[in-house]
Structure 1
Amino acid sequence: MNDALSPNPTTPPAGAAAPASASVPSTTPANARIIAITSGKGGVGKTFVSANLAAALTRRGHRVLVLDADLGLANLDVVLNLHPKVTLHDVFTGKAQLEDAVIKAPGGFSVLLAGSGMVEYSRLTPEVRNEFLNVIHTLAPRFDVVLLDTGAGISDVVLFSVSLAHEVLIVATPEPTSLTDAYAAIKVLATQQKRQHVRMVVNQAARPGDGRAITGQLQQVLDRFVTTDTGRPMRLIHVGDIPADTSVRDAVMRRQLLMLQMPGCPAALAVAQLANKVESTMLTPSPEGPGANRS
């Protein structure tokens, strides 16, 4: 069994191709738990959370794929300092095989990177929809966890990506603009996707407990104005805070994973705690498949 697909993968050089196993029949169900990591507003650290959470889950023994689902403004490659020869754009256009686009990242997890600045992927065409579905259907059986690093906001591409996930993790910061946009995104997920709950992590928290307090305040607004398909209020579940930490900026500027470079700093310890919470609450298989948290 190759390294990319073994239960306890070793870490080949960053950027090396992750060979695929034998082709998976189209009828094979998706085994991975698919988690969409999204945000209402850009610039809140969503991709930082995706990459470092992937590293933390890999360290715990999970086979993890991060799929850059921000098809128009992808930057996962920048965060990981990767220079892929093949991107999702090449796969969509038939210039390359999907297996050639899956590469190893620092931290041992696999990534599928999207090309940046692709205007044709800024809206959800039938072609983009079908290609994206094929990618998920093909790759999901080969991993334990698939993290979808979506774009920000409520565009049709973002909402389609989120609709494929079993669970949604929304990232926000304490700033009013971030929280306002997070509320708007959560409202759309409740009304359009009929989701019953969304999980939330607060990045750049100033003090311990800030995230839980912020989540509680947003829950009060949801209780008043957002009703789910069952008639119950949308549940916003707090899963962790990542404290404001200068080490984060240093790692991002150096294009390094915080979990590898400064694993003992407060933000890295918080990501490790988040991974533990994700493992215990979000990785339990559900018979309903993607979107199962809508019940």
Structure 2
Amino acid sequence: MPSPDFQSASPTPAQPVAAAPVAPVRVIAVASGKGGVGKTSVSVNLAMAMVNAGQRTLLLDTDLGLANVDVMLGLSPRFTLADVFAGRCELRDTLLEGPGGLWVVPAASGKRHMTELLPQQHVGLVHAFSQLDLPIDTMVVDNAAGIADGVLTFCQAAQDVIVVVCDEPASVTDAYALIKVLNRDRGVSRVQVLANQVQNAAEGRQLFGKLERVASRFLDVTLNYLGAIPRDEWLRRAIQRQESVIEAFPSSPSAIAFRDIARRAGQWQSPLGPSGHVEFYMERLITPARSAVA
């Protein structure tokens, strides 16, 4: 039976360090201060755009109480992370193969106890991924909205954080609150900002400008403008069809924008090693350094 802190729910026994260097996994956390800004749609389509660009990609749903990544992709999971925590399966058993070869780890929906996990259980989940022997280049983490402990831990454990914001006063205010807590409480010093559901490129820039002006005055954080996703009827239709717009309508304005976002993310500097706090795929970050010394 797994221990309360999830440590014994590791997916596989510890593996010996490989002789050949293993490329580090790029982990990107997608978050938002406010719900309803299209964060999960961003996660799904960003992951699919990366798959189409040749990246072996895993999409992890960490909205542990109201998960819907599997619903958006029309998948029917046999097991979810709730089953892992309950000891009914291992992490590997939750893996689903989605469209285009995208790997998906689904969370549970309507499981209130999953929203009340202890901080060490969130950390235990992060550590479990270090032992998941899956050949991937990138992991996209779809977080719950807000500033709960799990959101902060999963963002801190990633190499890059994307905060999704739309043109609503509450969205901008809550996005700033999330960035402030990540920076002051978790030491996150760099955040990518993605404007969603904008009417035009200028609107996206204006949204970013609002956040940047306040953050530069009160926080020790660097905000980068990742780009904007336009308000697009084709995206709405893709959601209704339970498909990514990348697959359903590849020539649509939103699909083009997601491919551009994925291209920019692919140009970010790869992690050179662990940063000193809890991280996804820690072993992948340590192994290259060991191999170089050997």
User: What TM-score comes out, normalization by structure 2 length?
Assistant: 0.84
Cα deviation, residue 210, structure 1: 1.9
> For residues 16 and 139 of structure 2, what CA distance do their matches in structure 1 show?
18
> For residues 26 and 181 of structure 1, what CA distance do their matches in structure 2 show?
44
Cα deviation, residue 123, structure 1: 2.6
> For residues 183 and 134 of structure 1, what CA distance do their matches in structure 2 show?
28
CA contact (8 A) 2:29 2:143 kept: yes
Q: Tell me what 2:126 maps to.
A: 133
| Equivalent runs, 1:1-295 vs 2, <5 Å | 25=15, 31-125=24-118, 128-139=121-132, 142-226=135-219, 228=220, 234-281=221-268, 284-289=270-275
CA contact (8 A) 2:123 2:153 kept: no
What's the CA shift string for 1:164-206, capped at 9, x where partnerless?
1111011111111111110110111110111221001101011
> Amino acid of the residue matched to residue 275 of structure 1?
A
Q: For the structure 1 residues 120 and 53, does the alpha-carbon distance in structure 2 shift closer, same or farther, using more than 3 Å as the test? A: same
Q: For the structure 1 residues 130 and 37, does the alpha-carbon distance in structure 2 shift closer, same or farther, using more than 3 Å as the test? A: closer
Q: For the structure 1 residues 199 and 256, does the alpha-carbon distance in structure 2 shift closer, same or farther, using more than 3 Å as the test? A: same
> For residues 136 and 143 of structure 2, what CA distance do their matches in structure 1 show?
19
> Amino acid of the residue matched to residue 211 of structure 1?
G
> For residues 27 and 236 of structure 1, what CA distance do their matches in structure 2 show?
36
Structure 2: segments with no counterpart, 5+ residues: 1-10, 279-294
What's the CA shift string for 1:98-141, capped at 9, x where partnerless?
22211111232100001111211213315623541243212376
Cα deviation, residue 279, structure 1: 0.4
CA contact (8 A) 2:159 2:271 kept: no
CA contact (8 A) 1:30 1:141 kept: no
> For residues 12 and 119 of structure 2, what CA distance do their matches in structure 1 show?
28
> Amino acid of the residue matched to residue 271 of structure 1?
F
SS across alignment from 2:153: helix
CA contact (8 A) 1:31 1:143 kept: no
> Amino acid of the residue matched to residue 111 of structure 1?
V
What's the CA shift string for 1:8-57, capped at 9, x where partnerless?
xxxxxxxxxxxxx9966277888211111000001111111111111111
SS across alignment from 1:44: coil
What's the CA shift string for 1:41-86, capped at 9, x where partnerless?
0111111111111111111111100110111111111111111111
Q: For the structure 1 residues 99 and 288, does the alpha-carbon distance in structure 2 shift closer, same or farther, using more than 3 Å as the test? A: closer
Structure 1: segments with no counterpart, 5+ residues: 1-20, 229-233
What's the CA shift string for 1:248-267, capped at 9, x where partnerless?
11111121111011000000
Superposition CA RMSD, Å: 2.3
SS across alignment from 1:153: coil
SS across alignment from 1:209: helix
CA contact (8 A) 1:165 1:291 kept: no
Q: For the structure 1 residues 167 and 93, does the alpha-carbon distance in structure 2 shift closer, same or farther, using more than 3 Å as the test? A: same
User: What TM-score comes out, normalization by structure 1 length?
Assistant: 0.83
> For residues 276 and 203 of structure 2, what CA distance do their matches in structure 1 show?
31
Q: For the structure 1 residues 141 and 84, does the alpha-carbon distance in structure 2 shift closer, same or farther, using more than 3 Å as the test? A: closer
Q: For the structure 1 residues 290 and 82, does the alpha-carbon distance in structure 2 shift closer, same or farther, using more than 3 Å as the test? A: farther
- Larger RCO: Structure 1 or Structure 2 (Cα < 8 Å, ≥ 6 residues apart)? 2
